[in-house]
Amino acid sequence: MLPDPSDSTPMKMPDGTSVPSVFQLTGVKQHPNISVGRYAYASDNALPADILQTIAPYLFPGAPEKLSIGPFCQIAEGVRIITSSANHPMDGATTYPFAIFNPARMVSYAFEVGPKPDTVIGADCWIGRDALILPGAVLGHGVIVQAGAVVRGHVPDYAIVGGNPAQVIRMRFPDPVIARLLDLAWWDWPEAAIIAAIPALEANDIDGLAALRP
């Protein structure tokens, strides 16, 4: 089964009780600079009032950059995505951000401090506890980020990365399998087709998955 897209806490115990620390990101208060794919979720035992702002604390509404979180992403507790607006000026004699304490300069300042690349997280990524995603990082589809990793730059599809700075530890699958998975793009299928494909997905049955392609 797939969770109800409108349910902000879709994980249920056998007795029907919701698990309040698991947030489905399409079911929570949305952020104008963040796009979230279906069935992406995050975990946080702190029960934040605004989970998207908690995950991306420096991304303010109307900022010059955006954050994209792909469908079926899994974001563990303590993950922080540091977007480009967190940067300080580095060309002057000081990095102190005087402008953020001046209401007349605050908004325009965000557009002045260097380039503002977007941050992109592909489909079906698993980001481990306390990982840090740096400004402008681009994670391909199916990426696994180990706990505590500091990720920057481009991470290839289906890579496992870890460390500070994060490095590719290994690829999850051989190149031909990765190419097939990217071509199948099961995360874009209709819900009924995904439900039918769950056994093949869980068993890593790529031929079976391909046979179910709608």
Three-state SS at 169:
strand
**Mean pLDDT throughout 168-186?**
98
Give the domains, in start order, of the chain with CATH numbers: 22-172 (2.160.10.10), 174-214 (no CATH)
Residue 209: name the closest of 73, 144, 70, 196 by CA: 196
pLDDT band at 212 (very low <50, low <70, confident <90, very high): very high
Mean pLDDT of the chain: 94
Rounded (5°) CA angle 27-54-96: 150
Distance CA 66, CA 136 (A): 9
The pLDDT assigned to 208 comes to 97
Of 51-55, 60-64, 118-122, 191-195, give the lowest mean pLDDT range.
60-64
The pLDDT assigned to 88 comes to 87
- Residue 110 pLDDT exceeds 80: no
Answer yes or no: 141 catalytic.
Answer: no
pLDDT band at 108 (very low <50, low <70, confident <90, very high): confident
Three-state SS at 108:
helix
Report pTM: 0.93
Distance CA 122, CA 87 (A): 23
Cα dist from 135 to 17, 81, 82, 190, whole Å: 37, 8, 5, 32
pLDDT band at 114 (very low <50, low <70, confident <90, very high): low
According to DSSP, the residues that pair with 69 across neighbouring strands are 36, 121
| φ/ψ (deg, to 5) at 112 | -100, -25
Q: Could you give the percent of the chain with pLDDT greater than 70?
A: 99
**Mean pLDDT throughout 174-202?**
97
Residue of 31, 88, 141, 154 with catalytic role = 88
The pLDDT assigned to 55 comes to 96
